Structure 1
């Protein structure tokens, strides 16, 4: 088995590469390095610089490396940006996936793991989000992930592919400091940036119907997420020909929520932040009060459960932040 991992030099991708190679799987990484970092990858991992929208490059890569499975992580993924440039998101995330699947079918690849998102659910009004919760995405990003799932399943049924769609929730942490997230888009790095600069972290709304009034989310350690991709790939590899065309769609979360206030307080404790307290501002449009996964189907289908808690996530992410930004720890003391 050889797996093509698109976006393998990215934050999540590099963790998936590490999990799979350490488990003895052969991988080749395709990444255009628009957000990925080549140095995240081990030197002995085959690397192809380029885009998954390049059909000729895909055909050559699949043939040259004897690819038998694909883990598709590459995508545009910023919710706010997707509202501003929806055509680009649909082009890259949906049309690009179509190009990749065409190459997969033409190359005789039979296993496909798709990295989806909890954004497909939109604003669910339930305590625990199951895979049967209605999908009503609120952004073009979420729409492209849901359309991607439809396309993956349709291609699987039509061409005998074994497919898995992983709907992951809020990703944080790092398996090693050098693999830490370099973007500043999500809660944890945004708070890190604020405390490193001596600013008050921002909390968007404290009047939600939750125990402390702030939004509750399900945070998943990126190392656990990587293990889930490995489990999905191995599940598909272990199935016989009779499973052709079957799909597995599962949530990847801890099944436990943490509020924004709890996360800000934990970050202050871990970093030793002594700056101004969090500043509460108006709610952001479209923010649901609570989004927490049911992880039972992932346990049943993949034999997988998360093993890290939110303290693990914050501590490991802070180590990576300090590695990339020397002096950050001193600035919060």
Structure 2
């Protein structure tokens, strides 16, 4: 949907915060860490699947780890579900499959593979990560733990699906603002609070990115049923993406993370070039991330 750095909406159940468009009042002030130099916990850490495969392990050693990890996941049973509605053994084994896909160069472990498997982290680190996942219920495999307790924003939330997903991951540790300019996306929701400059731990967005002259040629499933303001990104589809970059430069705190969806590789490269050369050196670790079809669809970065 259409993005805005003024208007926010969300679902209180998942610690999501929002503010109605045009309101002039503020609720209690938001607290955050200082915007001074990065601490160790704030420094950017590249996600596993984006790291180079600089480590290796034998097939037998990796299979031994995988069997150990499966047994550890199976030992959980329904304990986490009963405790706080956490994942059961089935969901944990699914997470383990994702971890294998992320950490191995080929995305799998099979008997047909060569004897040495290239990895993105060491085998020792894999044991540590999965032990922490089960014993400490930590999912630092997937995000920077230092940002978990911060304030996040889903810009142009639409139905709120992304914001709700992030809110469920953050649970009571962090909070997320869901914003949108379309009244139909927030009707019935309740105001909670707004944000301030330099306080966001993360910004995510699936903004309007379709070039204006492509709107008429969209599939009927999209063009007939989605609001035009949720699709039209201007002449080259970059209007909202560039607006997001400029806003993120001031709204993110040091070490803050951003992730934007684009129309494809051309927009991705344009956005990366802008962030690396025209954003005043604000961003670092800028990456193009492919979708499941292998198309460069997403851009991620950190605020210095």
Q: TM-score, normalised by structure 2?
A: 0.33
Higher CA-based Rg: 2
Q: Which has the higher contact order (CA 8 A, sep 6+)?
A: 2
Relative to its length, the structure with more helix (as a share) is 1
